[in-house]
Structures are given as structure tokens and as C-alpha cells.
Structure 1
């Protein structure tokens, strides 16, 4: 029987770059999923190892279930990253996560940790839907969970947790906090600040919260690494490589990137020494990634899913789909972008497809395609609007959106579960739609996805009807 993951059982060549027992918590992270463990936690450990600092251990907060805590707690927070590229896989144990909390079980402990004076940075990966934003871009104050937090319950939402933590920091005299969003949202830091300001204005403690927000910093950031869901086969392979069993192993590609706006309220880890890019303007990097990598990922997920492909790598091996993905980037996306210094967009696009084609990463089309109503506005609809604004027809972007529409309609027709925060609204909209044009009109009418402008655009509607007709 393979031993459980414990530091003493890990071969020397696979051990963490730091002594986990020597780290104190200086970072709180909301959204303790696989991506954080394969990305920010790795950067943080490498930065600590290079600088010799022991102040940047991470308290990870699971926002929903206790599953991650149940995996990590028996292993003293240790887990491994299984990296799969073109050659043999490699594996390394990471020790930067020093505490794991589960928000629904103990929301008070989450607030206490955010308020801890030793904590100066909070990061988060809660996915687009975790921000509970309204279609217009502000906080959705009609959301029942937001209303419950505002009414004074122990907070369960991200903005509620942050607000309560900031209020308690004020009471404790804690130094200003830096909040780094690592989710795929346009100008994610300023966006989160606006949501927090909306929450504060609706709160009984409005004055105090707004004062705290004035001293906090919300830098924008852009993250990139492909992290597919871990399977039992991955755990078996990790056990064979490590010689111990790791129930919390995460799988990732070799590529790793983090671009952060250099705007911090106080101390921070030396992430730049670990390879992160600190810059005065994240926007060009962010736009290139969202509109090229993320949008193409979504396109391949929906088109590939409709053709029965289980993984993105399978979809890219389909020459027609690979060609359409390439066209999306060259024909629709690149004309809307201003490249950051040092980034060749054509070369970047080729790299994106090469990464997607990595056969060792079994990134499922269903996983990439989930939460489409939250992802489409930030990944594809900005490109659509920019192309329409210069009287160009965004045919490939419309194809990607149409593929999502057809996928929603097919899931509704077959009774398949639609993994989307607006599943009920979407499926209700298409349930009585007969024919392609009716499906398009029904989904275009969901203002929380398409706003008020796109449904009124005859060119975009016609493109959707044509493309959906080819896919149906």
C-alpha cells in the first residue's frame, strides 16, 4: 500500500523549495481550487525560496465544499503539481499553503484571517460568477446571497467576506490591504473595487467601509496556465512518481505566466523574482489573453463538444476546428488589440494552439464550456462590439457565440444538466423556441449576457442565425 503524502516520505528531489513549518501566514486566498494551487501558490513558494522570506504562507479558503480541506488537512497542507509537457512528466510537492478554511462551515474564521494584521495581501480565484455582478457591470444588489450578507449574516459571498474583513481591520488598526484578483475579467482589480464600493454604499457601515476602500489597493492582474481537472489516473501516476499517495495532486502544463499591476498598499512577496511581470499597465496583456487564448478555448469547447470531442486536444486535432480557431484570432481578434511591448500577436496565437494540442493535458470540453453566460461577455462579446463599431462583420466570433447557443438549446432539448450560473434563465428562454432564429432571439434577449445593444444589432443577429443554422 502506498504511503500517504507526508514531508518525511517525499523523495528529496520532489520536496518543496521552502520549509513549510517555517512559514507564517501573510496571504489569504479566496477560492482554493486547482488553478490557485498550480499557479499563485507555486509563484509564492518560489518567491519565498529565492528571497528567503518566511512571511508569505497562504491561508486558502474554499468557498463552497470541504473537499479540498479534507484532501489537504491530513497532508499538512502539502500537495503536488504534476506537470505534463511534450516529454516525460515531472512532479513537485508544494508547501506554501499553511492553513485551509471552509467558508460555509466557519465564515467568522475567514473574516478573522482577512483582518489579521500579519496579512497584507489577499488574492482570489472565484471564477467570473463568484463576483455576483449585474449585467451593467456593478454589483447585483438583488442577488439573495448579497442581500443576506448585507442584512448581517456571517458573510458567504466574496464581497461580503472582504467587506467584513476590511471593517474588522479598521477596528484592529491593521495596515491597508492589497486585493489581487486572478480571475479572467477585464481590469479585474478595478472591477472588484467597483463591486466593493457598491456593496459598501448599500451597507449600514457605509462610511467606515468606504474609508477602508480608499486605503486598500486593487491592482489588475492577468494569469495564465492550463490546469485540467484531476482524475484518478492522474493520482495513480503521481503516486508512481512520488512513491506516496497524494489525494490533492493538481495537473498543469509547463507554461506559467502572471502579469501584475505594480500597485500595492504595503509589503508583498517577491513574485517578480519568481518570474511574474510587474508592470504599470496590465491591460494589453490581459486583452490579448482574454480575447485570444480564452475566447479560442471557449470556441473549441463548444464546437468540439457539438462534434462529440471529450477534450480540447481532440478538438484541436480536428483540422477544420483548428483552422476556425486560427481564423478567430487572425480575422476578428488581432485587429482589435494593441499588443504589449515584446509580444508578437501572430506568434502568440500559434503558441496558444500548440498549448491546446498538448495530448498529455486532457482538458475536457465540458469543463472549459461551463459558465458560458459569465464567460462570453469577457471573452468574446468585447471583440464582437469592437468589430461592429468599425463596420466589420465578426463572423468567427459569432460562430463561437452561436456554438454556445446551440449547446444550450441541445442541453435543454435532451434534459442534460447545464452547468451555468444562469441555467434556469437560459433554459427557460429556449424551452418554447422553435427553429434556429427563435433560439437565437431567445438567448439574445437575455440582457444579463448580451446587454441591450447587441440584440438590437441586425448584423450580429443575422450572423448568429446563419452560424447556428449550420451547427444545428
Structure 2
């Protein structure tokens, strides 16, 4: 089978969706840090669709460390296939990414792209841990990457250091027509990114920090689309559909949402013509997504794994788990925030549950369980804190926290590896747990990098987590109904 590349795209079946623009003449106007599966299934697709309305908005993807995307896409001129998995699957050729660079190998080229006058947008999907923030959402000056980058500002390893280095050059050249867009699942992502960059810059040059504050916009955003990892089954399915070999296709559900704060320092693609929502109030959409979707995703992952399930659709299809997640969303998450006036929250919740149940999306619970120390503060702990302030129930929300604690203890006692930037610390604490629920919970709630001291000391929170932890201790694939029935 021939390789997908520019020479062979005319051989694609007519059923393959293609946006109408001249890719050969397309200039690069966006640099994206972290061109992983989510970016290639989300922002790059919105941009690809918007290119039909004009503009030099090709994307240069910059991988901070991994060479995989660059090396796999190079053979096919950075073209790839998006598989939209639903009742009627669809396949789209995506060509918005013109170039992929790896920071470690091509630092000079990366800096040239970041500082080019033609670059008007830098976007990021580097996950929560990539922002080097502390528990208060501010720049963690004790973070190893931050300390390295402050000592070696011309050779940064972190996204914060790299952005600051590029902005220093643009400051010298007075190139301010740049917007930096965070697309990660982080509350107030743009505001936190902007504050971190300014704080980092102020350590080096106060005038640079002032210039960034005055000239560079960091809009808040909300992104949403379930994007499972690429596997061999997807590659075979795509090859059959497009009749060409694709080294690294990606897949996602049909649903895709992007909400961006309407604060830009320069021009932007015609995203508004292809479904992107521009607003001056992202927080309502953001909280709805982070709390309703992401919070239930994490709860479903840790509880579902303990039940012996492998995928989201398997887990949510079990009546007891479906009931637990549905009740948590309606009874505890919904009352915790104010949704946008145009949003029907109960309808949104039902849409989430329907998306979870999509059998065409094989979304692994183990993948969602990655980086729990970085995700739970935003996905569950913020909701719990607000509910405590309102004297609302936190019983079901605490079940998600307790399930994560069991996830850590199980891994520690079985000498299993977990994917988390705090893995060593988490597993060391979990290894101290002896099976006495109250003592174990106190040991784990003492992890200050995850649980703020005020919350950890809250008796209502501690009690709720301990009760849920004790209940879940008995949970296994054979007694799901009886154990989860106690929580509901």
C-alpha cells in the first residue's frame, strides 16, 4: 500500500473530507507547543477547516521532547487522517500542520519560528504539569525546570522558559502582534499562563515583564473532545478507509468544542466560521467542562479501574457506575457553579453520559488515570471546596478522591508504575498505608503538593473521603452493585 503524502492525495476516495485551500502556498502563522493527539484532533482541525476562508495560518508544531510525531509525519509531508468515530464514521485529511520541530534537536529553528514577524499565534497543549505551577496556580520557582531555565534562559527546557525567551526577542524587535493561547484543561488557563510567564520574565528583566503585560494577550479557553490514543487497530481501519498507509492517524468523537476569550493582540484565523465560540466570559463554559466532564471522567476512571473495567464505555454502561456518576453530576457538581445563561446544564450532563457510552470510542480508563496529582485539584477539589463553602453535599465527589487514593495504594503495594510527575512522592506516601482507613487517608491527604492545607484539615472533607475510602476498600469486579449501592 502506498504512503499518504502530497504526491498521493489525489488517490484518496471521494468520501474522505478535504478542506478547500492551496496547501503548497500556505504560510506559517501559528506555532503550537505540544503537537500530540489532542491538538491534531482539535485545534489543528478547526484551523484546517478555517483555511478555506483564507489566511496564512499554517501550523509549525513544536515537540518539547518527543521525536515521535515529527519522525512519523515527516514521511507523509505532515499530512494525516482524522477518524471521526460515531454511528456513521467519517475520515478527514488534515494538512494545517506544515512543519514539526523538536526543541532538543532544533532549538534554533524553533526560536526562529517563535520570533518570526509572520507568527501571530502561539498555542499550547502541554498538559497541566507543563505549566510548572504550584498549588496556588502560580509559577513554582522551586520547580526543577524553572530553576534550570532561570539559570540558563537561552537554553530553556520548560514551556514557560521557552515562551519568555521568544518574547524577549520580540520585545527587542517590538513585535507585539502575538497572542498566546493555552488549550489545556486548566481553570483560567490563559490567565495562569500569562501570570507565570510574566513572573518568570520579571526574574530576568522587569522591563520585559512590563512589556509582556502591556502587549501580549493570553486568552482563557475551554476545549472539549474525547480523543483516545492511536493504536494499531486505528491504523488498519484508516488504511482501509483512505486506501493509503498513514503512519500516525488520530481519532476522536464527533463532538468537538472550542471556546476562546475574545482578547487578541493581533490577527487570527477565521475560526468563528467553523464553530469556535468567542466570548468575554469563558469561566462558565470552563467550569461546566472541567467540573462536569473532566471531574466525572477522573471519577469514572479510578472507580472503573477498581471495578475491573478497561474503557470508559464499559464502565459507564454498568448501571451502578452510571447511576453514581449521574447522581454526582446532578446533585453535587451542578450546584457548585453558575453556568452560562445559554447552557442547559441537565441537557449537557445527559450529552456527557451519552458520549461516554459511545462504543465506537475505545477510551482507556488507564490513560485518563494519568497525572492524577495534576488533574484532581482542578477537576474535583475546586468543586469540593465550593460545595463546602455553600454547605452542599460532597459525598459523591469524595468518592472520586477516595478512588484515586486506592489507585495509589494499590500501585504502591504491588510495585506498579504510575504516570504522574509526582509518582515517587505519591507512591512513597501510599506505601506507608497499612489498611487502617482513617490513618491511611490522613497520610495521603498530607501530600501538600495535591491537597491544600486548609482543605486537608477540613473535618467534613476528611470524614467524607474516609467513609468513601472505607466503602471502596471492598470494591471488586464481583460486588460492584452492592458496594456502589452503599455510596448512592
For Structure 1 versus Structure 2, the TM-score category normalised by the shorter chain is: over 0.9
Residue 364 of structure 1 aligns with which residue?
A: 364
Residue 252 of structure 1 aligns with which residue?
A: 252
- Correspondences of 1:149-298 after superposition (within 5 Å): 149-152=149-152, 153-203=154-204, 205-298=205-298
Residue 81 of structure 1 aligns with which residue?
A: 82
Q: Deviations over 1:192-227 (max 9, x none)?
A: 111112211222x33224313320000101011100
**Would you identify which runs of 4 or more consecutive aligned residues in structure 1 move more than 6 Å?**
none
Distance 1:177 1:445 in 2: 42
- Structure 1 residues 247-256 or 134-143, which shifts more? 134-143
Choose which of 19, 29, 40 in structure 1 pairs with 2:32. 29
Distance 1:19 1:446 in 2: 53
Distance 1:194 1:261 in 2: 16
Distance 2:393 2:97 in 1: 48
Q: Answer yes or no: is the 8 Å Cα contact 1:111–1:162 preserved in 2.
A: no
Residue 451 of structure 1 aligns with which residue?
A: 452
Q: Answer yes or no: is the 8 Å Cα contact 2:202–2:208 preserved in 1.
A: no
Distance 1:12 1:96 in 2: 20
Q: Answer yes or no: is the 8 Å Cα contact 1:58–1:99 preserved in 2.
A: yes
Distance 1:233 1:347 in 2: 33
Q: Answer yes or no: is the 8 Å Cα contact 1:27–1:123 preserved in 2.
A: yes
Residue 310 of structure 2 aligns with which residue?
A: 310
Residue 485 of structure 2 aligns with which residue?
A: none
Q: Answer yes or no: is the 8 Å Cα contact 1:117–1:175 preserved in 2.
A: no
Q: Deviations over 1:289-339 (max 9, x none)?
A: 000000011111001111111111110111111111101111111111212
Shift of 1:12: 5.4
Q: Deviations over 1:72-100 (max 9, x none)?
A: 1111110110110123x211110000110
TM-score by length of 1: 0.97
DSSP-derived class of the 1:450 partner? coil
Residue 349 of structure 2 aligns with which residue?
A: 349
Choose which of 37, 46, 49 in structure 2 pairs with 1:46. 49
Q: Answer yes or no: is the 8 Å Cα contact 1:302–1:400 preserved in 2.
A: yes
Distance 1:208 1:292 in 2: 39
Residues 437 and 26 from structure 1, CA distance in 2 versus in 1: closer, same or farther, beyond 3 angstroms? Answer: same
Residue 65 of structure 1 aligns with which residue?
A: 66
DSSP-derived class of the 2:309 partner? coil
Distance 2:287 2:91 in 1: 32
Residue 23 of structure 2 aligns with which residue?
A: 20
Q: Deviations over 1:228-284 (max 9, x none)?
A: 001101000000000001011001100011111000001001111111001111010
For structure 2, the residue ranges without an aligned partner over 5 or more in a row are 474-488
Q: Answer yes or no: is the 8 Å Cα contact 2:133–2:140 preserved in 1.
A: yes
Distance 1:228 1:450 in 2: 29
Distance 1:414 1:433 in 2: 13
Distance 2:50 2:341 in 1: 25
DSSP-derived class of the 1:3 partner? coil
DSSP-derived class of the 2:339 partner? coil
Q: Answer yes or no: is the 8 Å Cα contact 2:13–2:243 preserved in 1.
A: no
Residue 406 of structure 2 aligns with which residue?
A: 406
Q: Answer yes or no: is the 8 Å Cα contact 2:194–2:218 preserved in 1.
A: yes
Residue 394 of structure 2 aligns with which residue?
A: 394
TM-score by length of 2: 0.94
Distance 1:328 1:110 in 2: 45
What RMSD, in angstroms, separates the aligned Cα atoms of the two structures?
Answer: 1.2
Distance 2:104 2:149 in 1: 13
For structure 1, the residue ranges without an aligned partner over 5 or more in a row are none
- Structure 1 residues 333-342 or 361-370, which shifts more? 333-342
Distance 1:422 1:99 in 2: 33
Distance 1:289 1:215 in 2: 30
DSSP-derived class of the 1:101 partner? strand
Shift of 1:15: 5.8
Residue 329 of structure 2 aligns with which residue?
A: 329
Distance 1:145 1:175 in 2: 26
Q: Answer yes or no: is the 8 Å Cα contact 1:107–1:156 preserved in 2.
A: no
DSSP-derived class of the 1:448 partner? coil
- Structure 1 residues 173-182 or 361-370, which shifts more? 173-182
DSSP-derived class of the 2:60 partner? strand
Q: Answer yes or no: is the 8 Å Cα contact 1:272–1:278 preserved in 2.
A: yes
DSSP-derived class of the 2:24 partner? helix
Distance 1:361 1:309 in 2: 15
Shift of 1:444: 0.7
- Structure 1 residues 383-392 or 119-128, which shifts more? 383-392
Q: Answer yes or no: is the 8 Å Cα contact 1:107–1:155 preserved in 2.
A: no
Distance 1:446 1:256 in 2: 35
Residue 93 of structure 1 aligns with which residue?
A: 93
Matched, 1:7 2:6: yes
Residues 173 and 12 from structure 1, CA distance in 2 versus in 1: closer, same or farther, beyond 3 angstroms? Answer: farther
Q: Deviations over 1:356-400 (max 9, x none)?
A: 110110000010111000000111111100111122230111001
Residue 480 of structure 2 aligns with which residue?
A: none
